[in-house]
Amino acid sequence: MNTSTPEQDPPFEPDQPEAPENTEQQAQSGQNSADTPPSDPEARIAELLAVVETLKNERLMALAEAENANKRADKRIADNAKYAVSNLCKSLLQVADNLGRALMAAPTDVRAQNEAVKNLALGVELTEKELGGVLESQGVKRIESLNQAFDANLHNAVQEVENAEVPSGTVVQVLQDGYVMHDRLLRPAMVVVSRGGPKREAAKPADTS
Which pLDDT band holds residue 200 (cuts at 50, 70, 90)?
A: confident
Fold of 142-195: Nucleotide Exchange Factor Grpe; Chain A, domain 2 (2.30.22)
Domain assignments of the chain as residue spans, ordered by start: 86-138, 142-195
Contact between 158 and 189 under an 8 Å Cβ cutoff? The reply is: no
Q: How far is Cα 9 from Cα 34, in angstroms, rounded to an integer?
A: 49
Sheet of strand 189-195: strand arrangement? 155-162, 189-195, 171-176
For the whole model, what pTM was predicted?
0.62
Q: How far is Cα 122 from Cα 112, in angstroms, rounded to an integer?
A: 12
Q: What confidence tens digit (pLDDT) does each residue in 147-188 have?
A: 999 999 999 999 999 998 899 999 999 999 999 999 899 999
Contact between 199 and 168 under an 8 Å Cβ cutoff? The reply is: yes
Q: What confidence tens digit (pLDDT) does each residue in 9-40 have?
A: 555 555 555 555 555 555 455 544 444 445 68
In degrees, rounded to 5, the angle at the alpha carbon of residue 127 between the alpha carbons of residues 123 and 133 is 145
Q: pLDDT at position 143, please?
A: 94
Kindly state the percentage of the chain with pLDDT values over 90: 50
Is pLDDT at 117 greater than 60 in this prediction?
yes
Q: What confidence tens digit (pLDDT) does each residue in 71-116 have?
A: 888 888 888 888 888 999 999 999 999 999 999 988 888 888 999 9
Contact between 20 and 26 under an 8 Å Cβ cutoff? The reply is: yes
Contact between 190 and 175 under an 8 Å Cβ cutoff? The reply is: yes
Contact between 194 and 170 under an 8 Å Cβ cutoff? The reply is: yes
- β partners of residue 141: 180
